[in-house]
Chain A
Amino acid sequence: QKEVEQDPGPLSVPEGAIVSLNCTYSNSAFQYFMWYRQYSRKGPELLMYTYSSGNKEDGRFTAQVDKSSKYISLFIRDSQPSDSATYLCAMTETNDYKLSFGAGTTVTVRA
């Protein structure tokens, strides 16, 4: 079993819909949780960064962490065609620089 599980999709939604992405993990020592966005043939770029449990909102993006369930989510409101990309979750322990990545979910927002 992988340390971080993420459904690879693909996920296709109409423009304006809410996109819901999630990851589960097995390592209870993970404290830092990130979401990266990767456009085709580009490097991943950091989208959201959360420490421990709770919610974080940034514009149309909301990240949620539930450490008790070992479950993290990313919501994209009012999705746009420009949101079409692969979204990767990543996480790490305190004082550890090694990120554990999920497989990535490919999202397509249809105009």
Chain B
Amino acid sequence: DAGVIQSPRHEVTEMGQEVTLRCKPISGHDYLFWYRQTMMRGLELLIYFNNNVPIDDSGMPEDRFSAKMPNASFSTLKIQPSEPRDSAVYFCASSLPSGSQYFGPGTRLTVL
């Protein structure tokens, strides 16, 4: 079975532009997580979903960030407008209930 799939793998954009990151969780996994990883702050949970419903978005840094999960096999994380401080690696992970989280390869975002 394929693991968590993320796209794009790399994104370079200019400040003020809209950025959309995509994630396909492992089939059958009920939980989906979005993380951000930086050297300064490490790995931080932004938001997670259960059965496509957002459960906890307390880690979302600002209103510029939004996440959706329209169906069980797809989620997006959108940043609008993007800022240089948003530059980071964004990971998506999925899991079964009470299961271990499996991470995708990440999207490396650079905002100029």
Contacts and interface: CB of A to CB of B under 8 A. Distances in A.
B31 A49 contact: no
A98 interface: yes
B56 A46 contact: no
Interface string A18-44: 000000000000000010100001111
Contact of B100 (A41, A46, A103): A46
Interface residues of B, number: 21
Given A97-B31, A97-B95, A44 B103 contact: yes
A88 interface: yes
Using C-beta atoms within 8 Å of the partner chain, give the interface range for chain A: 10 to 19
Contacts of B56: 98
A-side interface mostly: loop
Contacts of B108: 41
Interface in A30-68: 34, 36, 41-46, 49
Contacts of B95: 97
A17 interface: no
A42 B106 CA distance: 7
B106 to A, nearest CB: 5
Nearest to A104: B42
A87 interface: no
A88 B43 contact: yes
